[in-house]
Amino acid sequence: MRSKQLSYVLAGAIVAAFGSVAEARTLIQNKGSDTLVNVAQAWAEEYRKVDPEVAVAVTGGGSGTGIAAMINGTVDIANASRKMKDKEMKLAKDNGQNPIEHIVGYDAIAVFVHMDNPMDEVDIKALAEIYGEGGETQNWADLGIEVPGCKNQEMVLVSRQNNSGTYAYFRKAVLGKARDYKLGTRDMHGSKDVVDLVEKTPCAIGYSGLAYATDHIKMPCVSKDGGACVTPSVATASDGSYPVARPLMMYTNGEPEGEVKAYLDWILSDVGQCIISDKGYAPVRDVSCN
Amino acid sequence: MLMTALLILPVLLILATLIHKGGSIISAEFLFSEPTNGMTAGGIFPALYGTIWLVAVALMISVPLGVAAALYLSEYAGDNWFTRIINLAIINLAGVPSIVHALFGVGAFVLFFGFGTSILAASLTLAIMTLPLIIVATKESLQAVPHAFREACWNMGATRWQTIRKVVLPNAVSGILTGVILEVSRTTGETAPIMFTGAAFFLPFLPESVFDQTMALSLHLYVVATQVPNVPDELPYGVALVLIAIVLLMNSLSIAFRMWLRGRKKW
């Protein structure tokens, strides 16, 4: 009996102690894309200085997770690194939700290889042969490249899990809508995992948002249809010259109002856009940050 | 003897690694300040605080329920098909992977009961996941109380409930406590069940009621280790060290308390 009483007393004391610090605030639920999650976190962290009455709760999980939450009506703002599909839009409408899209930034999807890999440039068509189902390229030797430290020169394809917006966008932009990924890709649960794996694996090739690039990884420039080869950067994503760049979205239920509107307006202001730019993504327009 | 030493080795190695790589970051400031600079600097207080909330609420739900269930099964229930089914269900519940509990939690507590992603939903999920621990530990410690004690008590004219309350439970406390502590340790470390039911990646405020979301140490460790770029190496190790320290502290407390109780035992 003693342990039961003890646990009641303890639990009661804890709850009483915690319950006493009450203050009025508005909560904005923000969930979705792992690509956006770190920017969303930075915005949330900074926004409390702008309006201490408003708290933004940030959760990751992937674009699919955010969009599902929007369909279920459990979030105020869903983050997505891809557009909602027609099917998802219809599901949301059937549930009485009215998702409205807001572009909050752009993201260049960089291709990553190991530091020792001599590959400096790659064409979208070549990437499709590397990643696409039935693609010809199996070995680095097929590209005429010899990677030091890579046994058998066999390519290790690093990809993302299938509810990732990055996964969906790369597929659309590189493989084309109908084509699937090759079997045997290593599907990572976050962009950071992709970078970590490629950093340590000489044979590997991977892709992710540019913001996750580190100094220990190589990013070849990417060309499309024989055009100029463009190195991924915030500038080339902003001006549209980098071929694999996509908009980053926040979805609200209906036109934003009140605190949600104030938050979105702040995100799109110079201050908010400088934060996204600082995190390695491209802002929606030219901003001068210091 | 050698095998026993081998058992200790992994624990020591884990601790040594964590202290070596993360020990330098541990300070009062680390424990009691908020994460800053995109969670690459600052402390872990919101996560620590959230974990205490989650564990406390989970205990409040599962301990009364678990002890009551074990009392019924051990002291009242006859050996019939119904009891056997319940026992089977408990064993099966213990074997369900935590991610399945998480999905159940989302479906039942977050969506169906409408608690939303909240401490309540997360703690209910954790409570259900850890119920078997409490039930089995309590049942075993109740059955370890010699039957002669009960008979002696009944012969004095005590009712069944009086016997349980005055004789059986006081003698079983140390075993029940073991179950509770095991639950605390397990609840502290679980990530999957809280990820979708109540824990947030980042929260700029401390939870104030069970209907708030919260940050949690275990999820925070997952986040700084796999999601946030440019985290200094010692940060994830520091978080892991705090997590392990809490579990070890709880375990040592329970061992000390049990030894004290056992010292008072007269049989």
CB–CB of A37 and B227 under 8 A? yes
Is residue B249 over pLDDT 60? yes
Residue A260 CA: distances (Å) to CA of A28, A54, A79, A176: 7, 9, 13, 36
**By percentage, how much of chain A surpasses pLDDT 90?**
44
Residues listed for chain B = 267
> Residue written as tokens 């990437």?
A127
DSSP designation for B25: G
Instruction: Say whether both A157 and A212 belong to one domain.
Output: yes
Of the candidates A81, A101, A105, which has an alpha carbon nearest to the alpha carbon of residue A89? Answer: A101
Section A79-93 average pLDDT: 92
Does residue A211 belong to the interface with chain B, where contact is any CB pair within 8 Å? yes
Contact (Cβ atoms closer than 8 angstroms) between residue A100 and residue A251: yes
In this structure, the answer to whether residues A87 and A46 fall within a common structural domain is: yes
User: B179 pLDDT band (50/70/90 cuts)?
Assistant: confident
pLDDT band at A5 (very low <50, low <70, confident <90, very high): low
* A141 in the same domain as A73: no
The angle formed by the CA atoms of residues A132, A244 and A199, to the nearest 5 degrees, is: 75
The model's pTM is: 0.76
A255 in any annotated domain: yes
Residue A80 contacts residue A103 (beta carbons within 8 Å): no
Chain B residues within an 8 Å CB radius of A56: 204
Long-range contacts of B87-95 (CB under 8 A, 24+ apart): B90/B131, B90/B132, B90/B135, B90/B136, B91/B132, B93/B128, B93/B131, B93/B132, B94/B132, B94/B133, B94/B136
Q: Which of B138, B137, B134 is nearest to B164 (CA)?
A: B138
Lowest mean pLDDT among A19-28, A208-217, B11-20, B233-242: A19-28
Higher pLDDT, A30 or A163: A30
Q: Is A101 helix (H, G, I), strand (E, B) or coil?
A: strand
A25 vs B207: CA distance, rounded Å = 12
Lookup: tokens for A37 = 């999650």
Same domain, A154 and A39: no
- Calculate how close chain A gets to B165, using CA atoms only, in Å: 7
Asked if A201 and A229 sit in the same domain, the reply is yes
The pair phi, psi for residue A44, each rounded to 5°, is -65, -40
Domain that holds residue A192: 107-238
Q: Would residue A5 count as lying in a domain?
A: no
Residues A178 and A67 in one domain: no
In a domain, A160, yes or no: yes
Spatial separation of the C-alpha atoms in residues B26 and B239, rounded to whole Å: 9
pLDDT of residue A19: 46
Measured distance CA(A178)–CA(A163) in Å, rounded: 17
Rounded to whole angstroms, the Cα distance separating A122 from A112 reads 11
Tell whether B114 lies on the interface with A, counting CB pairs under 8 A: no
- Would you call A34 and B227 a contact, using CB atoms and an 8 Å cutoff? yes
Tell me, yes or no, whether A140 and A32 share the same domain. no
A265 C-beta neighbours (distance < 10 Å), count: 11
Q: In this structure, which topology does domain B44-263 adopt according to CATH?
A: MetI-like fold (1.10.3720)
Q: Considering the domain boundaries, does residue A290 fall inside one?
A: no
- pLDDT of B251 > 70? The answer is yes
Q: Select from B52, B187, B201 the residue whose CB has the most chain A CBs within 10 Å, as the one to mutate to test that interface.
A: B201
- Flag whether A243 is in a domain: no
Answer yes or no: is pLDDT of A1 > 50. Answer: no
Q: What is the mean pLDDT of chain A?
A: 86
Q: Are residues A120 and A191 in the same domain?
A: yes
Cβ-count burial of A152 within 10 angstroms (0-12 exposed, 13-18 middle, 19+ buried)? exposed
Question: Is A129 contained in some domain?
Answer: yes
Does residue A258 belong to the interface with chain B, where contact is any CB pair within 8 Å? no
Q: According to the model, what pLDDT value does residue B70 have?
A: 93
Q: Does the model's ipTM exceed the 0.90 cut? A: no
Residue labelled with tokens 């390519």: A155
Question: Given pLDDT bands bounded at 50, 70 and 90, which one contains residue A290?
Answer: low
Q: 3-state DSSP helix/strand/coil percent for chain B, to nearest 5?
A: 75, 5, 20
List pLDDT tens digits, range A231-268. Answer: 998 888 878 789 888 889 999 999 998 999 999 999 99
Q: Are residues A101 and A120 in the same domain?
A: no
- B227, B231, B253: which to substitute to probe chain A, counting the most A Cβ within 10 Å? B227
DSSP-assigned beta bridge partners for residue A122? A222
Mean pLDDT computed over A31-44: 90
Domain annotation covers residue A75: yes
> At residue B140, does pLDDT exceed 60?
yes
Q: How far is A151 from chain B (nearest CA, A)?
A: 27
Mean pLDDT of B48-64: 93
Whether B129 and B197 have beta carbons less than 8 Å apart is answered as no
Q: Do residues B50 and B212 touch, judged by C-beta distance below 8 A?
A: no
Decide if pLDDT at A224 tops 80.
yes
Answer for the pair A172, A145: CB distance below 8 angstroms, yes or no.
no
pLDDT of residue A222: 93
| pLDDT, position A7 | 52
Residues in chain A with CB shorter than 8 Å from the CB of B213 are: 57, 59
Q: Pick the residue with more confidence: A226 or A4?
A: A226
- Domain of A39, CATH number, reads 3.40.190.10
Residues A221 and A274 in one domain: no
Confidence label for A20 from pLDDT (cuts 50, 70 and 90): very low
Claim to verify: residue A129 and residue A141 sit in the same structural domain:
yes
Burial tier of A103 (Cβ tally within 10 Å: 0-12, 13-18, 19+): exposed
* A161 neighbors A174 (Cβ within 8 angstroms): no
Same domain, A164 and A262: no
Of A70-79, A120-129, B129-138, B224-233, the one with minimum mean pLDDT is B224-233
Closest approach of chain A CAs to the CA of B5, in angstroms?
33
The pLDDT assigned to B266 comes to 63
User: How many Cβ atoms sit within 10 Å of the Cβ of residue A116?
Assistant: 11
- Residue ranges covered by each domain of chain B: 44-263
C-alpha neighbours within 13 Å on the C-beta side of residue B4: 1
Please choose, from the candidates B248, B244, B251, B110, the residue with its C-alpha nearest in 3D space to the C-alpha of residue B178.
Answer: B251
Exposure of B252 by Cβ count < 10 A (0-12 exposed, 13-18 middle, 19+ buried)? exposed
For A113, the 3-state DSSP assignment is: strand
At residue B131, the pLDDT reads 92
Q: Return the residue matching tokens 């530091």.
A: A115
Binary contact (B176, A4; C-beta < 8 A)? yes
**CA-based nearest residue to A9, from B54, B126, B59, B134:** B59
